[in-house]
Amino acid sequence: MASSVWPGAVAFGLVIAALPWLRRDSSLARTVVLGFAILLTWRYVAWRVSETLPPVGLTADWIAGIAFASVEALALVSTTITLVFMTRTRSRSAEVEANMGWLLDRPQLPRIDVLICTYNEEEPILEQTIVGAMAMRYPNFRVWVCDDGRRRWLEELCRRHGCGYITRNDNAHAKAGNINNALSRLEALPDPPEFISILDADFVPTPEFLTRAMTLFRDERVAIVQTPQHFVNPDPIQGNLSAAHVWPDEQRYFFDVLMASMDAWGAAFCCGTSSVIRFSALKQIGGFPTESVTEDYLVTLRLRQIGYQTVYLNERLTLGLAPEGLKEYITQRSRWCLGFVQICRGRCSPIRPGNGLSAVDRLILSGTFLYWSAAHLFRLLGLLIPALYLLFGVEAVHADVSDAILNFVPYFVVQCAVMAWLSEGRLLPIMADVSQLLSAHAVVRAVAAGLVKPKGQKFKVTAKGGDRDRLFVQWSLFRIFAIYLALTIAGVMLAFVIDDGRPLQESSVLALFWSWYNIIILTIACLVCIEQPRKRKAERFATCEPVTIVRGGQVYSYPLLDISTGGMRLAGKAPAAVGTAVAVRVGDTRVMAQIVRADEDEFALRTDHSLATRKAMIRHVYGGRYSAAVERIRAGQVMLTILGRVFR
């Protein structure tokens, strides 16, 4: 046993010792480190295929073993493709600064039409986006709300705020059809745009969004500039685990790490909202394609087929809402999966010859397809395999402890350490597995639907807003995870407690550790299914800056603790009783407010609800000065927070 432990220990020691001294932006360092991780990954795969499969035959062991090993190998192909692309990364901020003079020195900047796409969002959400869009500091743009809900009140809201309103008689082709309808209207104007920008209804742009994105169109081959999606609210994993202060939203790894690597390979793609698009290029492909419910990815591929590029500007230039409930979270991810499978079944398939896609595009499409199909299926099979062995003796993996330590541990430890280094802690194994598990059933169904019937699938909108001030349980999903959990615990109890006379092979030790890991992630998944109440109507940003309050000729100064579009919390003793009206100045923003709560060492203000005050607060809060991001991620704090949630 001792001789089999040292490779894992040495690998762990080398990685831990070397990684802190390496630069994350160095392609050489990334290539060496990721090459080592890939080598250990395929060393592990070779061991799995050559040493751990059951004897050949039409037995339950052999069928389960072959199925599980095949799915695992395909999932690791996807992982390997991702690791290859992560050997590079790119930041375009310096390019933006270098091109700023080129843009601003032009006698007239190109006209941009900003399209806010909406279907069923509520008025407060849309008003924030409209006000933020109208406040952008770019001299030549128009804002249009594209309403697929045909709502009279929204038309009036647009008139009140001075922006355009576009609607249509049907909802054909969902969001893509909504945008294409707007494009045909804009093209018919006497002064059509040179560029368009797409914003989802809940994404508020910062004042510099258009200006900074436009600098990257100096290259005539650039058709799309995509920027990341940042969120002001916790996603269901953060919120339901009470972990928003220690763990970032699930999309941070994708937008902060993975997309920057894709851009370095010339393979960035449109993500819908928070993008700017060259209108002439879009017209060449007939507008947004409608063959997939993920029209954003497909528009990138169609443009790439005729020689245009998509580039990625990794700066926080828009702020939006993450899915607020678990149901919406799963709906969004299953839609992404379905749309991607539709793309792979269409004329942009990675295995279709002569469709104009590059080798890089084909490799990314293949890896992403395997991520949605094999990786999520592997996560579900990973719950069943140890339970099948402990309950029914079906041994899908033939391995002893020493061999597992020799082959699995080096691969697992190095990959965890490398990904933690590259992502600055944004990717932790347990949290990644929980995230994948939550949507795994819906994703597997979406893969099947997309493969069997790629056409005629409905676009499912991710609902935002609504009443979420009560605790409730997503019972349909909770029951599934509870069944998995019960089977896993039953297997452990039967094999090691109840049937203590049963002969156990060395594989039982592996099954025991595997089962305990599954118990942990299933417990966390069950907790995420318990939706915590969210009583605040507007999300708050923690901050520390001075605020001036004027009342009755007296001027007071207080430290600001947090702020939202509807109010703020300040440190210190309130200057007057609850219910008193006061004038407030924060930064350059002056508004009227009312004291609504006064404690011993802090008090709260609610700003008045006039149109002028709402606009002033939206512009201030979404002006780019505040962030809900977790600046430093510590794995220990994350685990302690989750442990506290378990026993709360």
Going by pLDDT thresholds of 50, 70 and 90, the confidence category of residue 455 is: confident
Average pLDDT over residues 245-264: 95
Q: Identify the CA nearest to 216 among candidates 296, 138, 313.
A: 313
CATH of domain 541-621: 2.40.10.220
Task: Tokens for 472, please give them.
Answer: 């409730």
What's the Rg (C-alpha) of the chain? 27
Going by pLDDT thresholds of 50, 70 and 90, the confidence category of residue 179 is: very high
pLDDT for residue 8 is more than 80: no
Q: From the centroid of its chain, how far is CA 438?
A: 14
> To the nearest whole number, what is the mean pLDDT of the chain?
92
Q: Identify the CA nearest to 217 among candidates 313, 361, 107.
A: 313
pLDDT for residue 104 is more than 90: yes
Going by pLDDT thresholds of 50, 70 and 90, the confidence category of residue 464 is: low
Q: pLDDT for 35-47, tens place per residue?
A: 999 999 999 999 9
Contact by Cβ (8 Å): 469, 184: no
Residues 6+ apart with CB under 8 A from 494: 390, 391
Q: Which residue shows structure tokens 């398939």?
A: 349
Percent of the chain with pLDDT over 70: 94
CA distance 69 to 75: 10
DSSP letter, residue 602: E
Q: What residue segments make up the domains of the chain, in order of their start?
A: 2-85+368-464, 93-322, 541-621
Q: pLDDT for 554-606, tens place per residue?
A: 999 999 999 999 999 999 999 999 999 999 999 999 999 999 999 999 999 99
Average pLDDT over residues 171-184: 95
Q: Is 586 helix (H, G, I), strand (E, B) or coil?
A: strand
Count of beta carbons in the 10 Å neighbourhood of residue 525: 24
Q: pLDDT for 74-86, tens place per residue?
A: 999 999 999 999 9
- Which residues in 150-160 are b (16+ Cβ under 10 Å) and which e? ebeebeebbee
CA distance 324 to 469: 12
Backbone angles phi, psi at 144, to 5 degrees: -130, 130
Write down the pLDDT at residue 480.
97
pLDDT for residue 109 is more than 50: yes
CA distance 348 to 297: 11
Contact by Cβ (8 Å): 494, 389: no
User: What DSSP letter does each residue of 148-205 carry, written as one string?
Assistant: TT--HHHHHHHHHHT-EEEE-S--TTHHHHHHHHHHHHHHTSSS--SEEEEEETT-EE
Backbone angles phi, psi at 65, to 5 degrees: -65, -45
Q: pLDDT for 389-433, tens place per residue?
A: 999 989 999 888 888 888 898 899 889 989 999 999 888 999 999
CA atoms within 13 A on the CB side of 43: 20
CA distance 579 to 606: 10
Q: pLDDT for 488-535, tens place per residue?
A: 999 999 887 776 655 556 667 888 899 999 999 999 999 999 998 876
Task: Tokens for 168, please give them.
Answer: 């249509």
Going by pLDDT thresholds of 50, 70 and 90, the confidence category of residue 1 is: very low
CA distance 133 to 615: 11
Pairing of strands 567-571, 554-564: antiparallel
Helix (H) or strand (E) holding 441: helix 429-452
- In terms of CATH architecture, what is 93-322? Alpha-Beta Complex (3.90)
CA distance 367 to 76: 10
User: What pTM was estimated for this model as a whole?
Assistant: 0.93
pLDDT for residue 7 is more than 70: no
User: What DSSP letter does each residue of 135-147 carry, written as one string?
Assistant: T---SSEEEEEEE
Going by pLDDT thresholds of 50, 70 and 90, the confidence category of residue 467 is: low
